[in-house]
Chain A
């Protein structure tokens, strides 16, 4: 059998009209797809909502999240006895408005999540590109490093680092990036190995493209869709990790706000005032669930086979 027949001569990703029109068309297509799949729509709405709330936090929050008032401490949510609509989700032990703290907490999650995904993603992708393009010894050495790091007790190392260099937003980003770059390297390297075999990369090399051009112009664009999905999944994981570190007291430090930190504040009062724990945790859960729904939906619409399967189910009796 002639294997060459199977290889695509044209890059699988269609690059058509100019970037602006392409973007507009892409957005319209995504909107149509989202409307068809209500679960994907939910994910999109949650993530959109998170972005909006984080950016517009000072405008939507009813109070200053750090304003303390001892008269109004430990107020329950408005629907319980003693609650008030001016503090819809109640107040904490220092009389701070929980809703406002939840709203401002979204900024921390977004900031840490995006930063870590960018830092770890960029570094991991570079390593993966390098290993996948070079192959041979470089590849096996780099992948051995990746394997070793994957087997590390990740959270413990992060805690150790944070304990030694002191916890803050920046150090949390550093610690989580050190823990998170390997998955990108593995993904990119695996995809590179299969791409290297395809004819259009060979063709680019034959006509004399420099390695850098081959990697960045011809190969990287084909990695964007799996990388995007992985990045979104990692974003969800990072939000959980940051919340966990902050809950343990080795993440974001007061007076900064973080959902994980607020849960840990509320822990001392949890039997008397459950809302201190419940609402920030709910914010984490809904955000992470939304991001996960978005990622699983993106994976489905990017995969023609999955799309066909979904369509076939709409046909009565088919199946």
Chain B
């Protein structure tokens, strides 16, 4: 194992393909009374320096669990049951304390609900500053000075006054800006944004996304965006991975995947979103309900809801295979499959 990992790492660096973050065959299970929920079933992907990648899927598809697993934040009754998470070639998931070196420092995270993701009894200034005091050894006054800068950077006016206020004195959008400021405190290389705009008003959503995009170019930050909102993906990301029932069903460049979706689920997902460029297109909801993650059906996980379903879809599971345009799709009816 050790030797193999070493060889793998050596090969990766030789190829010059040492990704910033690599997820390899990740499996996460939740042990509940109703049975074992297989939330993530063998997801693999990577993030390179400075790029933006999106994980897209319905709620319950396993995308948020994947994001939490990257930082080792999966709580009981959930557990990472297989696979590896590597940061610059080094495993975070194997052994103890792997995450301690990166959490909040090289990788930071912004969560969905800015109302509850900030500690209600602590001033926002202290919540931003404590990360720097922990990881960079800043003094109280140095942390405060940097906090004021960060508040300005994320667009909070009058930072000098607001730094000593409590979260309930801010609006939802403002709180999300504060979350972002706290995430940027130690100048991380990767920002994981787990549905950062879902809990916000539409107008505020756009502002927050713009802020993330700005900061990304300023700080040459890689962003892993978790969302169910395809509109957000189109505006912000280079690559996208579509997640269904704990698996990636299609991945590739955003332009490719959105223009000509290959997997029926991606097609359906795109069909259920209003599009400004095709105002006359009618919206089609996806038939059926999301897959049962306790008793996953055999074959393709999407087959109970798929319009193109045939015999093989019910019996055999399609592998994720590269197609002619360089993207990967897991569907027997995509043009990449030998069948």
Contact = CB atoms under 8 A, between A and B. Distances in A.
Direct A–B contact in complex, judged by CB atoms less than 8 Å apart:
yes
Contacts of B32: 308, 311-312
B33 A317 contact: no
A314 B33 CA distance: 10
A319 interface: yes
Contacts of A319: 76-77
B205 to A, nearest CB: 12
A77 to B, nearest CB: 46
Nearest to B199: A1
Contacts of A318: 31, 76-77, 79
Contacts of A317: 79
Contacts of B79: 317-318
Interface string A124-161: 00000000000000000000000000000000000000
Contacts, number: 25
Interface string A1-32: 10000000000000000000000000000000
A315 interface: yes
A116 B79 CA distance: 48
A38 interface: no
B33 A307 contact: yes
A311 B34 CA distance: 10
Contacts of B199: 1
A309 interface: yes
Nearest to A319: B76
A310 to B, nearest CB: 8
Contacts of B77: 308-309, 311-312, 315, 318-319
A317 B81 CA distance: 11
Nearest to B31: A315
B296 to A, nearest CB: 19
Interface string A25-51: 000000000000000000000000000
A313 B79 CA distance: 12
Contacts of A313: 76
A217 to B, nearest CB: 31
Interface string B69-99: 0000000110100000000000000000000
B240 to A, nearest CB: 25
A194 to B, nearest CB: 19
Contacts of A311: 31-33, 77
Contacts of A1: 199
B293 to A, nearest CB: 15
A318 B77 CA distance: 6
Nearest to A313: B76
Interface string A173-193: 000000000000000000000
Nearest to A310: B33
Interface in A231-261: none
Contacts of B31: 311-312, 315, 318
A307 B79 CA distance: 18
Contacts of A308: 32-33, 77
B275 to A, nearest CB: 22
A15 B329 CA distance: 47
Interface in A288-319: 307-309, 311-313, 315, 317-319
Nearest to B36: A315
Interface string B18-33: 0000000000000111
A150 to B, nearest CB: 26
A311 to B, nearest CB: 4
Contacts of B33: 307-308, 311
Interface string B36-74: 000000000000000000000000000000000000000
A241 B77 CA distance: 41
Interface string B250-266: 00000000000000000
A235 B305 CA distance: 54
Contacts of B76: 309, 312-313, 318-319
B115 to A, nearest CB: 12
11 contacts: A307-B33, A308-B32, A311-B31, A311-B32, A312-B31, A312-B32, A312-B76, A312-B77, A313-B76, A317-B79, A319-B76
Given A308-B33, A311-B77, 8 more contacts: A307-B33, A309-B77, A311-B33, A312-B32, A315-B31, A318-B31, A318-B76, A318-B79
Interface of B: 31-33, 76-77, 79, 199
Enumerate the 5 nearest inter-chain pairs by beta-carbon distance, A residue then B residue, closest first.
A312-B77, A319-B76, A311-B33, A315-B31, A312-B76
